[in-house]
Each structure stands twice: as structure tokens, then as C-alpha cells.
Amino acid sequence: MNIRKMTESDMMNLYGTISDPDVCKQVDNIDHVYDIDRLHAMYDFLSSNGNCYYIQYQGKLVGDVSLRNNAELALIIFLPTLWCEAMKSST
């Protein structure tokens, strides 16, 4: 696993993943996908109020983690196959 500071060039990779309806339902319990403007606004807010990091596993984007200035920590894993693997290994 690799965790690194998120950059502007990561936005299209994020969009490709977070535009999956199953991911949006799991992460935010919504029945629609984010458009690129909404995704940009979310990460712009997080970046201006803390630090955002990109999580890679086996070379693929699998999530992000944000540490906000108020000490809140948000961790999102949004690769459905990893959820399945995690559920199998926990039983």
C-alpha cells in the first residue's frame, strides 16, 4: 500500500473511480454519481482545510484519507473488490 499527498493531476483518476454508482452509494449513500465539478469542490474544500492523501494498493487507486485542520480524520476505501476481500477475511 502507498499513501501520498494528493495532487491536481489525481482528479481524473478519482473521477473514474468515484463516478461508479456502487461506490457513491457505499461511500455517501446517494443514488447518483458525482460530476467532475462536485468532486473538485469536495477535494478543494478538504485541501484548503487540511491535507488529502491518495491511497494506492497494487498500483490502483483504492481510496483517500483526509486529515482536517480540526483534527478530524476521514478515510474512504472505494474499490468494491477490496470490500469483498475484507468481508471474506473477517469471517
Residue 5 has pLDDT above 60, yes or no: yes
Query: Structurally, how many domains does the chain consist of?
Result: 1
Query: Can you give the residue range of the structural domain that contains 62?
Result: 2-90
Dump pLDDT digits (tens) for 63-75: 889 999 999 998 8
CATH number, position 82? 3.40.630.30
Dump pLDDT digits (tens) for 10-29: 777 777 777 778 778 877 88
Task: Give me the DSSP letters along 11-77.
Answer: HHHHHHHHT-HHHHHHHH--SSPPPHHHHHHHHHHHHHTEEEEEEEETTEEEEEEEEETTS-EEEEE
In the chain, the percentage of residues whose pLDDT exceeds 70 is 86
